[in-house]
Amino acid sequence: MNGTARPASAAMDSAAAEAFEQYLVPTIFGPWSEMLVDHALLKCGESVLDIGCGSGPAARYAATLVGDGGSVRAIDVDPGMIALARRLDTSGTVDWLEGDVSDMPFDANSFDAVIGGQIYQFLPDRPAAFREIHRVLKPGGRLVLNVFSRLELCPGHNAVAKALESHDVDPTGIRKPYSFGDPVVLGDVIADGGFRDVSVIRKTLEARFDSPAAFVEALAAGGPSARHALEQLDEEGLKQVIAEVTETLAEYVDDEGVRILTTTNFVYGRRG
């Protein structure tokens, strides 16, 4: 997921980061990243910071909108993701930095907008992170985050979580991204962090995979959170989980593959 602000012990190796970019960015996280950037209403010439940037789809897209007169910087705690983001940014339009959102090396009042895709759930110290975000934003600058809604509104991932539970595998890795799905709570957190004009809007995205098996295999290969749960299965266990997920998602399967729905809350606020 674009929200890759995980402890260093959970950092993705280069193969997993590349699998994330290959299988999950085109289908889920790339479209969500573009919607995140569009929600920020970026203008030509603005300065933007992407927190928890992952492999960088949001930052790269933002760079096309702010143009040569603007600037985009991006930070993530995961060295594997930052290394991949740098390789993918062949034109060098984004300044990539490995670092902690709770302690950023940027001057105060530096950015017109701070964006963050699926990072809120993984912040180990949210008050410190929001103090930093508030500090680096210009007065009146805007913060835009997207945060997955509750798991029940994301039926594909919910099916995987339930299948893991049936095999006595801890599904925390699947559930964590959906653990802060209450829009009222999210809005209150942003307001309490010193932001005004706060709004929360819920949106749903439909992604396509060739089959339920392809979806599970994509999560197992490159899911920033899910892969740690799925890798606990042996080969036979993974086959059984895939079979259970395939049965559960039967109503979402058609001639073009399987429809994977994800629902996200978009949070907007301005620095007070």
Our CA angle for 53, 83, 67, nearest 5°, is 55
pLDDT cut 90: percent of the chain above it: 90
Q: What is d(CA 237, CA 114) in angstroms, rounded to the nearest whole number?
A: 42
Q: What is the pLDDT of residue 2?
A: 43
Which domains, and CATH codes, for the chain? 8-150+178-207+262-271 (3.40.50.150)
Q: What is the mean pLDDT of residues 227-254?
A: 96
Q: What share of the chain is helix, strand, coil (3-state, %, to 5)?
A: 45, 25, 30
Could you report the per-residue pLDDT of 108-121, keeping only the tens digit for each? 999 999 999 999 99
Helices (H) and strands (E) in the chain, counts: 11, 8
Whether residue 9 has pLDDT greater than 80: no
Angle value at C-alpha 230, between 252 and 97, nearest 5 degrees: 100
**In angstroms, rounded to a whole number, what is the distance separating the alpha carbons of residues 205 and 266?**
12
3-state secondary structure of 128: helix
Q: Rounded distance, CA 181 to CA 151, Å?
A: 8
pLDDT of 212 above 50: yes
Rounded Cα distance between 49 and 214, Å, is 33
pLDDT for 11:
55
Please tell me the predicted confidence (pLDDT) of residue 12.
Answer: 65
Quick one: tokens of 136? 């680096």
- Band of the pLDDT at 69, cuts 50, 70, 90? very high
**How confident is the model at residue 137, as a pLDDT?**
98
- Nearest CA to 219 out of 238, 244, 240, 247 is that of 238
